[in-house]
Copies of this chain bind each other. A is one copy, B any other.
Amino acid sequence: MVRRRRMVRNYDPDRPVPAEVRERLLAHAIRAPSAGFSQGWAFLVLETQEERDRFWTATTDAGAPDGWLTRMRRAPLLVVLFSNKQAYLDRYAEPDKGWADRDEARWPVPYWDVDAGMASLLMLLTAVDEGLGACFFGVPGDKVDALRAAFGVPPEYRPVGCLAFGYAGDGDRRSPSLSRGRRGVDEVVHRGCW
């Protein structure tokens, strides 16, 4: 399952994701671990044509769509994943953690985003398991406000990324980035010391 996973960037627009598969994706996502069990995440599920059009209009530039966008827009299901830093600061202000000052400097790593990555990966793997294609991609920083406005997202929620799901379409193109080659275990693993 791990080895079969790859990003899919073209979808069959005529095959929706079955409701039970969609629910399994979400049920698995919320099994991700989170610091202090904060679970400071939220998932915006977009399925109808109108909902998906609204997402793409808010998050992409107007004008003729490029090939990437044309193919990605065929995905019948989008899940936008948000993190909520405040939920973590609040959780760790509780007595058992004791960071009552809610000082963000205590957090050398933004675990609200790390945990969202874990939840995303659970959805990506579940998609493989269900025979679905999926792609994780970011929402451009200059489109975040438009996205919030389009769907009424509260300001404390920040989009970590969007996951597209669907059955792979013909002519899917692999990311050109893959030609860089995967860095092998020997390149990235240090044993005992650096």
A: residues with CB less than 8 A from B are 2-3, 5, 7, 23, 26-28, 30-33, 35-37, 39, 41-48, 51, 96, 105-111, 113-118, 120-122, 124-126, 136, 138-141, 144, 151-154, 158-161, 175-178, 180, 182-185, 188-194
Q: How many copies does the complex hold?
A: 2
- Residues on B with C-beta less than 8 A from A2 are 28, 31, 122, 126
Can you name 6 A-B pairs with beta carbons within 8 Å?
A: A23-B185, A27-B185, A41-B188, A43-B188, A51-B193, A105-B141
Task: Choose one: B41, B117, B185, B191; the contact of A121 (CB below 8 Å).
Answer: B117
Contact between chains at B178 and A37 (CB < 8 Å):
yes
Quick one: given A39-B188, A189-B43, are A182 and B144 in contact (CB under 8 Å)?
no
Given contacts A2-B122, A117-B114, A185-B27, contact A109 B33 (CB under 8 A): no
